[in-house]
Structure 1
Amino acid sequence: MAAPVTNEWKWFSALALGVSLLKCLLINAYHSTDFEVHRNWLALTHSLPLSKWYFEDTSEWTLDYPPFFAWFEFGLSHLAACFDSEMLAVQNLNYASPATVLFQRLSVIVTDVVFIYAVKECCRGVWDEKRKDLLEQPSFILATLLLWNFGLLIVDHIHFQYNGLLFGILLLSIARHFQGRHLEGAFLFSILLNLKHIYLYITPAYGIFLLRCFCFTCSNADRSVQWRSFSVLRFTVLGLIVLSTFALSFGPFIALGQLPQVFSRLFPFKRGLCHAYWAPNIWALYNVADKALTVLGVKLKLLDITKIPKASMTGGLVQESQHSVLPSVTPLATLICTLLSILPALVHMWFRPNGARGFLRCLVMCALGSFIFGWHVHEKAILMAILPYSLLAVEQKEDAGIFFILTTTGHYSLFPLLFTAQELPVKILLMLSFTVFSFTSLKQLFRCGGRLLSTSEAVYLLGLVPLGLVCECVYPLTTWQKSFPFIPLLVTSVYCALGVIYAFIRLYILLFTFTDCGTEAKMKSQ
């Protein structure tokens, strides 16, 4: 099939260039402690031998990403020396000279080229030359939803991280599976796991999909497994790709006898059930329920106030803590809950495979299930579900409605990450622009299929407006701000948790009641 027409590449290039220019305008915006985290990693990988990378603790922000990301920082550090060599001194804690800021911001912008290329590859499957109106073209809508994603913009280019690079590899891996290039997709995901281990959340979807739809080459007429079609060769090649990638990543540290130390950095379970700023998940609701029961128990004199930990779950600290009334949650309990939440999706994909499109739906379910029930989940992890789900949102109305609920609540839950006054108009404008575009474009795309949202769903989402006014504008002016600074975060997490969990339930209902009619064949033909 011929490549898309020139006009389509013109608007794609315009979208990519426009968002890159916007990122440049945000270079001098507020940045979080993650900026110092990555500066420190530049310094320690540049200044110290390999044997000390995962032992260095001069800074509290020790290296806790897999080895491939450490090598990525090592490579960047040699470029950083051309900007300001002082940023590469381990003892220069909280160093943020103008040249340092410029380099680190530019490093995120430049590495986003991987994300841009991945978006282009994902859009190859949804080109629609029959629609003349640009706002009715699924490819244009998808490209905008991904390239101009509000959450990714503020997390990477204001808050500061390298998620664009990482999500670029993830989306490219997904695109390769849609194109039938499964070994390449598996290789890319193996690399991704060794860059950031949070993607373990979606590993079950990859494992079941590759086993069921790649290692088994045929299915019976009823779509059940044809066991005789199992390919030992494919399974062996797939295993070699994964094992060799991990061997390359962890091999040097195994040789040094440091694997336990590396793992202790990657999986620090002593950080507690929730992050300092609660992710909008089931544990936010659980914590609030425990707090409400505690207050009620004290008022009814059923609990001794002297034996209750002060602000145990609402102090905004990263620490182990105990619930007062409800049973305290352990890492094992969250693991069991997570596995149970994603098991139906995995079983469904095994017995009713729908090619790469079914895999993508299962991947989103795994990402959301892990976000809702996982241990010490960061609020930014919601992007792991939002970005891949964008590919499904432009294909059918049912997904578009759920996507809009998920992306609106998930993105709003990121608001407290930017708490300085000068960023308030920026985040409001970006959030509003992205939300309006998402709703109007998806509504136009599926205008013949009925309403995207029910009345109750619309009312819930409109409730974010007064919530934002109170949390961002009114509460900071009250005397309660000094005594109870965590209240806006608590309210935001709880309110958004309702929307995220609702979207997860809706996704499961859709999974078992709706037959996908995806475009895998179209992507293979590109």
Structure 2
Amino acid sequence: MTSSSSPSLSSQYLIPLILLALYIRICISFAPHSGQSKPPMFGDYEAQRHWQEITVNLPITDWYRNTTDNDLLYWGLDYPPLTALHSKVMGHVAETVSGSWVQLHGSRGEESYEHKIFMRVTVLVSELVHLTPLFLLLSPSTCPLSSLFLLAITPSQPLIDHGHFQYNSISLGLTLLAVLALKHGWVCTGSAMFSLALNYKQMSLYHALPFFFFILGPRYNSWSGVRELVKVGVTVVLTFALCWLPFVDTAGDVLTRMFPFNRGLFEDKVANFWCSISVVVKVREIFSRITLVRAALFFTLVSVLPSQLLLFRESTPHKFILALTNSALGFFLFSFHVHEKTILIPLATIVLLYNDKRTNGQTNGQNNELTVSLPVVWFTVIATFSMWPLLLKDGLYMMYIAGMGLYLTTVYILFKQQLYSTSVLLFMLSVLGCVILHLLEIYVEPTERYPHIYPTLNSLYSAGHFALFFCYFNYRQIVD
């Protein structure tokens, strides 16, 4: 990450910008949530509430097992131990406020106004784990205000956590804390933070290889480095042991729930390779599940290993961010059973390049009028667009329009002096394609033969962009 030539900003901007980001999230929280008033399963809001109910009322040995009191077909826990323990803490707080919110069997579908306030506040508090390291990593003392403002109004993650309803901010925040620690040379602290992220959401594995190679690269060939690697290994083992100690007797059940291969290659329309190719070749019908698991593993490793080997050879902070991005994008495009929301994982590290000239194709010493990286802005827009079918299903279309409108208006102000540059024109054409697909969905009814044509077009259009971004950020890691 490089500094901009723009005037330096004092850290006094940090708190106002975090408050702006929190304000936007509060506004989104007034919108509907996943599965609102849609029995019998409701949605992710009910899943999070149900996990509080289970963890508060049942012994820890039954949290991941199918029992008479824990029907795994009704939002069974499928995240690692820290998510379960976090649910238990929130469940006890909820029980203190109102026991009916987590009453075993009797609280299903709880959607009272007071309970919604409680649940929304828990997400808002957890957001500080995400926002604080994010702004610190972008160095408010040197980063231009334009970059920080775009960071504060980025719509993707708030729409999912505060609209759809999840706690992605915790795992993403722990990952960013790990990056922040490594940036300052606190290797064991960073390793512990990332281990906690892995134990909160298993999708943090998307970032695991870059952490491994970034820590290993400069340390494997000296005795002092080997001693430090031993300390890192002990830190990781102890962190995992502390997280898993209460679940020793049910570790097999936890792992089975964390990696549900029986759920198939993908579910809804997701903007990755497997869903895209299935439009032409019905791979789920042609190949067995085990064959698809092996194919997904092979394609994923082949796609991400080159960037990781580059990082091993040159372990710099800039290469680290690019390797994190390339690894997460490779996993999103090729791994088994990816959700559309998972695009937030590569986005979490891509935004760290907001103020990096090199991602604009500029080398050191060249003049660059842009105050933010266009590829990062572009990726943010497409990432949000790719989740449109999910946001529409949740009734979050007004928040999507408002969030994208604010973001694109700011981008226009920043880039209006470069309207006739090739890269900006391509960006505008890309956004125009998104707008055209939205207008078609509004005014042209899908045919009976192709009832899901618009989610399919959305996934194909987004997947094409993500594939190009994957190539571009790998290229940047090679040439920078």
- TM score, norm. by length of structure 1: 0.79
In the alignment, residue 348 of structure 1 is paired with which amino acid? Answer: L
Call closer, same or farther: CA 1:236–1:13 in 2, change over 3 Å.
same
2:206 pairs, out of 201, 213, 217, with 201
2:312 pairs, out of 334, 347, 350, with 350
- Structure 1 Cα separation of the partners of residues 356 and 161 of structure 2: 28
In the alignment, residue 503 of structure 1 is paired with which amino acid? Answer: F
- Structure 2 Cα separation of the partners of residues 252 and 76 of structure 1: 18
1:382 pairs, out of 343, 346, 350, with 343
In the alignment, residue 284 of structure 1 is paired with which amino acid? Answer: C
Call closer, same or farther: CA 1:161–1:60 in 2, change over 3 Å.
same
**Which structure 2 residues correspond to residues 425-444 of structure 1 after superposition, within 5 A?**
425-438=398-411, 440-441=413-414
**Which structure 2 residues correspond to residues 404-423 of structure 1 after superposition, within 5 A?**
404-419=377-392, 423=396
**Which structure 2 residues correspond to residues 6-25 of structure 1 after superposition, within 5 A?**
8-25=10-27
SS in 1 for 2:97: coil
1:44 equivalent to 2:51? Answer no
Query: 1:424-464 deviations in whole A, cap 9, x for unaligned?
Result: 232112112113324543677xx7xx947164454233211
1:499 equivalent to 2:472? Answer no
Equivalent residue for 1:70? 84
Call closer, same or farther: CA 1:493–1:479 in 2, change over 3 Å.
closer
Call closer, same or farther: CA 1:36–1:333 in 2, change over 3 Å.
same
Equivalent residue for 1:283? 274
1:470 equivalent to 2:480? Answer no
**Which structure 2 residues correspond to residues 56-455 of structure 1 after superposition, within 5 A?**
56=66, 57-58=70-71, 60-91=74-105, 92-124=107-139, 127-128=141-142, 138-213=143-218, 215-216=219-220, 227-228=221-222, 231-254=225-248, 256=249, 258-276=250-268, 278-290=269-281, 321-323=284-286, 330-351=292-313, 353-396=314-357, 398-399=359-360, 400-419=373-392, 423-438=396-411, 440-441=413-414, 451=421, 453=423, 455=425
Call closer, same or farther: CA 1:403–1:76 in 2, change over 3 Å.
same
Call closer, same or farther: CA 1:241–1:451 in 2, change over 3 Å.
farther
What's the CA shift for 1:354? 4.0
Query: 1:456-504 deviations in whole A, cap 9, x for unaligned?
Result: 4542332111111112x124xx373x77442221110011111111111
1:508 equivalent to 2:474? Answer yes
In the alignment, residue 161 of structure 2 is paired with which amino acid? Answer: D
- Structure 2 Cα separation of the partners of residues 441 and 163 of structure 1: 29
Query: 1:29-56 deviations in whole A, cap 9, x for unaligned?
Result: 2111110110010100111111111114
Q: Is the 8 A contact 1:401 1:452 kept in 2?
A: no
Call closer, same or farther: CA 1:79–1:336 in 2, change over 3 Å.
same
Q: Is the 8 A contact 1:12 1:140 kept in 2?
A: no
Query: 1:262-289 deviations in whole A, cap 9, x for unaligned?
Result: 111111101111122x221111220112
**Aligned CA-pair RMSD:** 2.7
- Structure 1 Cα separation of the partners of residues 473 and 395 of structure 2: 37
What's the CA shift for 1:68? 1.1
Query: 1:373-395 deviations in whole A, cap 9, x for unaligned?
Result: 01111111111112211122311
Q: Is the 8 A contact 1:169 1:188 kept in 2?
A: yes
Q: Is the 8 A contact 2:81 2:244 kept in 1?
A: yes
Q: Is the 8 A contact 1:273 1:329 kept in 2?
A: no
- Structure 2 Cα separation of the partners of residues 361 and 66 of structure 1: 27
- Structure 1 Cα separation of the partners of residues 402 and 119 of structure 2: 25
SS in 2 for 1:82: helix
In the alignment, residue 400 of structure 2 is paired with which amino acid? Answer: K
Query: 1:150-175 deviations in whole A, cap 9, x for unaligned?
Result: 10111011100111222221112112
In the alignment, residue 404 of structure 2 is paired with which amino acid? Answer: M
In the alignment, residue 37 of structure 1 is paired with which amino acid? Answer: A
Q: Is the 8 A contact 2:18 2:152 kept in 1?
A: yes
Unaligned runs of 5+ residues in structure 2 are: 1-6, 35-42, 361-372
* Rg larger for: 1
What's the CA shift for 1:193? 0.5
Call closer, same or farther: CA 1:456–1:355 in 2, change over 3 Å.
closer
Q: Is the 8 A contact 1:146 1:387 kept in 2?
A: no
In the alignment, residue 91 of structure 2 is paired with which amino acid? Answer: S
- Structure 2 Cα separation of the partners of residues 45 and 246 of structure 1: 20
- Structure 2 Cα separation of the partners of residues 328 and 494 of structure 1: 25
Equivalent residue for 2:64? 54
Q: Is the 8 A contact 1:122 1:175 kept in 2?
A: yes
Task: Report the more deviating stretch, 18-27 or 353-362.
Answer: 18-27
Q: Is the 8 A contact 1:287 1:323 kept in 2?
A: no
In the alignment, residue 369 of structure 1 is paired with which amino acid? Answer: G
- Structure 2 Cα separation of the partners of residues 7 and 364 of structure 1: 27
Call closer, same or farther: CA 1:187–1:52 in 2, change over 3 Å.
same
1:461 equivalent to 2:445? Answer no
Aligned residues: 449
In the alignment, residue 271 of structure 1 is paired with which amino acid? Answer: R
Call closer, same or farther: CA 1:231–1:16 in 2, change over 3 Å.
closer
Equivalent residue for 1:132? none
- Structure 1 Cα separation of the partners of residues 171 and 290 of structure 2: 34
Query: 1:50-72 deviations in whole A, cap 9, x for unaligned?
Result: 11111143252101111111111
In the alignment, residue 243 of structure 1 is paired with which amino acid? Answer: V
SS in 2 for 1:13: helix
SS in 2 for 1:96: coil
- Structure 2 Cα separation of the partners of residues 16 and 439 of structure 1: 23
Unaligned runs of 5+ residues in structure 1 are: 129-137, 217-226, 292-312, 314-320, 516-526
Q: Is the 8 A contact 2:170 2:197 kept in 1?
A: no
In the alignment, residue 47 of structure 1 is paired with which amino acid? Answer: N
What's the CA shift for 1:179? 1.7
SS in 2 for 1:322: helix
In the alignment, residue 280 of structure 1 is paired with which amino acid? Answer: A
- Structure 1 Cα separation of the partners of residues 182 and 150 of structure 2: 21
Call closer, same or farther: CA 1:328–1:198 in 2, change over 3 Å.
closer
Call closer, same or farther: CA 1:346–1:195 in 2, change over 3 Å.
same
What's the CA shift for 1:187? 1.0
- Structure 1 Cα separation of the partners of residues 262 and 289 of structure 2: 18
Call closer, same or farther: CA 1:365–1:236 in 2, change over 3 Å.
same
